[in-house]
Structure 1
Amino acid sequence: MTTTTPQTPDPGGAEQAPPAPARPTRVIHTEATTEIPVHLLFRDDPDPVSVQLRPAVVGRRQGTGEQPRLRRPVPARARPVPHVDPDLVERPARVMPAAVGVLAGAAGAAGCAATSWWAGTMPPAVAAALGLPAAGAAPGPALWAAYAGAGALGLFGVGGLARGRTGRAWVLGMFGRYRGTVRRTGLMWVNPLLLRRRVDVRLRHWRSEPMPAADGSGVALRVVVLVVWRVRDTARAVLAVEDHETYLRVCVEAALARVPVEMPGAAKPAVDAAADALTRLVAADATPVGLEVFSVRPVRVEYAPEVADVMHRRRIAALDAQHRASVLTSVVDSVEDTVTRLTMRGLVALDDHERKVLVKDLTVAFCAGRAETGH
């Protein structure tokens, strides 16, 4: 029997409000939820700031029903660039026409002649030819100062005369400081107090000695490469490294250690790809020191001495196996053609046993005949 419990009215005469419904429990007890404020989802800024979005990689676990997760892209590591003084850049040096040096030399010679006449050391015949009266001053500091000044002027003028050639340049320096580069040709006057270093700026070809390398399988090779290059920035080529030619050779060796080189019998695209990779690596390493590399191409590729004998025997074995396979194919075709003709024309009637015996005898005969003829 069911018993009904009557509701008890409150003292004010109003009925008691029913209790609030309970908050529903979570269906997934193993998952944690996070409340997101609504004002963050729907922001209405008067002047929104544009944000540049970066591409992201979306990863999702299969079979779990989870939402995709965004992963930050990993930046590629840049190759380290050799440290070179950024202020060390080629700039033209200040030079003067050759007439300045010639005039200074002539003025110095004239000053020495005038001082000699003043001192009375000039021969009388020369003084008479020049129409100069006889003079004879007593030697003193003024006389020696005049000699020193005239001689220094003459040496300074004549010693600064220089001749520039096509394809050659001078890197000038004074007291360890770079003062500029001279690329002019012809006769000119350069300060004789400056230190001159001649640099060849023509297009040059360098054929290397055999260098160690490896092919795609890791077999040791010896490679001779032809490098086409030139000096583009004379200041960096002379002052940034001790010897830019040695630096270029080391760059080529480092590139050969990273790029696999194929033998001459390989496909042309593989050979071209190796040459392009070598050129790109060497050019990237040589650019900071003022060198411009146009191409690096292998011109001779051979096996290293320690693996040459093994590879030679392997090559002979491969050729022998190929020859044996071709001979066997030819013999089988000849035997098949002979048996087919005999049976198709009705010359002989053979059962399975007789056919096997005939095939065996013909195979032995054909093989012996080819061995005797050497084919």
Structure 2
Amino acid sequence: MTERNAWKINGFVALLVLVALFFGSLILFAAEAILTGIITTLLFLIFASGFRIVQPNEAKAVIFFGRYMGSIRENGIWLTVPFSTYKKVSLKVRNFNSAKLKVNDVEGNPIEIAAVIVFKVVNSAKAIFEVDNYEKFVEIQAETALRHVATKYPYDDFQGNAASLRGNTEEVAAEIAKELQTRLAVAGVEVMEARLTHLAYATEIASAMLQRQQASAILAARQMIVEGAVGMAQMAIDKLTQDGTVELDDERKVAMINNLLVTIVSDRSAQPVVNTGSLYQ
């Protein structure tokens, strides 16, 4: 189905014609011109059946005895094909909030995911005639696309080598919108935006995955601390050597590095021990 413009005439102009036909028929009947009066009355009834009122951001598909005659998008009052029926569809921008879906990510972990879809109808003929109920069609296809995209990514990439649902929300949302647009094109619907509104591990594995995330965070923090400690120890030795304040042999350098690393890497505050020498000879 391809949307096209229906034949129409400005309704206010048509009203003037109808008023003229109505009073003309009265005058003809009064003048006993019965046949002409009947014809005028029939014309009045025929044209009166073709009036349609279109609200803003609304389209009406005109149907004449089962045949699609076109759509009227311009708001106002119009005279269109007489004895025709119509089906209306809203052209407003709307939101659809999907339910929380329980799916498995690419690694097989059960997760909960939900999204909001912003869409509008751009082809009234397809929305009315190509699918039974375009709103229900959007709902089902949105959940299907969300499930399909969720199974292509891991919830989180602990190695930092690939895209993930949690770490690449913009890319995931763009892919959901792209796939959903492909699915909804048959219904004449344009997907304007898709965003994740809920993303979490399923309750049965949430505790275990939280411990895994905490362990990964601790390891990453320790790695950063060790790298910083090594750099600080190297800087201290280079500074002492450059200034010539203290001459350190290899054994003392090793001892200094060991003390610095233990002090910096330890998760507790260092307790200094002062050597005051022996009290007894």
2:98/2:139 contact within 8 Å kept? no
2:51/2:77 contact within 8 Å kept? yes
2:100/2:198 contact within 8 Å kept? no
Instruction: State the SS of the aligned residue for 1:180.
Output: strand
Equivalents in 2 of 1:111, 1:177: separation in Å? Answer: 32
1:236/1:290 contact within 8 Å kept? yes
1:276-287 matches, within 5 Å, as 276-287=174-185
Instruction: Tell me the residue number matched to 2:156.
Output: none
RMSD: 4.5
Instruction: Tell me the residue number matched to 2:97.
Output: 208
Instruction: Tell me the residue number matched to 2:195.
Output: 298
2:59/2:88 contact within 8 Å kept? yes
Instruction: State the SS of the aligned residue for 1:93.
Output: coil
Aligned length: 246
Equivalent of residue 138 in structure 2, options 248, 269, 276 = 248
Task: Render the CA deviation track for 1:134-169: whole Å, top value 9, x for unaligned.
Answer: xxxxxxxx9xxx99x96x876665564333345321
Q: More helix per residue: 1 or 2? A: 2
Instruction: Tell me the residue number matched to 2:3.
Output: 90
1:109/1:154 contact within 8 Å kept? no
Instruction: Tell me the residue number matched to 2:275.
Output: none
Equivalents in 2 of 1:359, 1:92: separation in Å? Answer: 83
Does the alignment pair 1:222 with 2:116?
no
* TM-score (ref. length: structure 1): 0.49
Task: Render the CA deviation track for 1:196-219: whole Å, top value 9, x for unaligned.
Answer: 2222335x3535335536654344
Residues 351, 324 of structure 1: alpha-carbon distance in 2 compared, 3 angstrom cutoff: closer
Residues 367, 299 of structure 1: alpha-carbon distance in 2 compared, 3 angstrom cutoff: closer
Instruction: State the SS of the aligned residue for 2:268.
Output: helix
Instruction: Tell me the residue number matched to 1:263.
Output: 165
Equivalents in 1 of 2:105, 2:262: separation in Å? Answer: 43
Instruction: Tell me the residue number matched to 1:103.
Output: 17
Task: Render the CA deviation track for 1:321-358: whole Å, top value 9, x for unaligned.
Answer: 2233444555566677778969x9248x8969xx77x8
Q: More relative contact order in 1 or in 2 (CA 8 Å, sep 6+)?
A: 2
Equivalents in 1 of 2:190, 2:265: separation in Å? Answer: 62
Structure 1 residue 301 displacement after superposition = 5.3
Structure 1 residue identity aligned to 2:211: R
Structure 1 residue 255 displacement after superposition = 2.1
* TM-score (ref. length: structure 2): 0.62
Structure 1 residue identity aligned to 2:60: W
Residues 276, 179 of structure 1: alpha-carbon distance in 2 compared, 3 angstrom cutoff: same
Taking every aligned residue pair, what percent have the same amino acid on both sides? 18
Instruction: Tell me the residue number matched to 2:246.
Output: 345
Equivalents in 2 of 1:366, 1:189: separation in Å? Answer: 85
Equivalents in 2 of 1:94, 1:363: separation in Å? Answer: 85
Equivalents in 1 of 2:212, 2:58: separation in Å? Answer: 52
Structure 2 residue identity aligned to 1:265: G
Residues 246, 309 of structure 1: alpha-carbon distance in 2 compared, 3 angstrom cutoff: farther
Structure 1 residue 188 displacement after superposition = 1.8
Instruction: State the SS of the aligned residue for 1:188.
Output: strand
Does the alignment pair 1:313 with 2:211?
yes
1:211/1:253 contact within 8 Å kept? no
2:71/2:125 contact within 8 Å kept? yes
Residues 334, 169 of structure 1: alpha-carbon distance in 2 compared, 3 angstrom cutoff: closer
Task: Render the CA deviation track for 1:33-57: whole Å, top value 9, x for unaligned.
Answer: xxxxxxxxxxxxxxxxxxxxxxxxx
Residues 175, 335 of structure 1: alpha-carbon distance in 2 compared, 3 angstrom cutoff: same
Q: Where does structure 1 lack aligned partners over 5 or more consecutive residues?
A: 1-87, 119-141
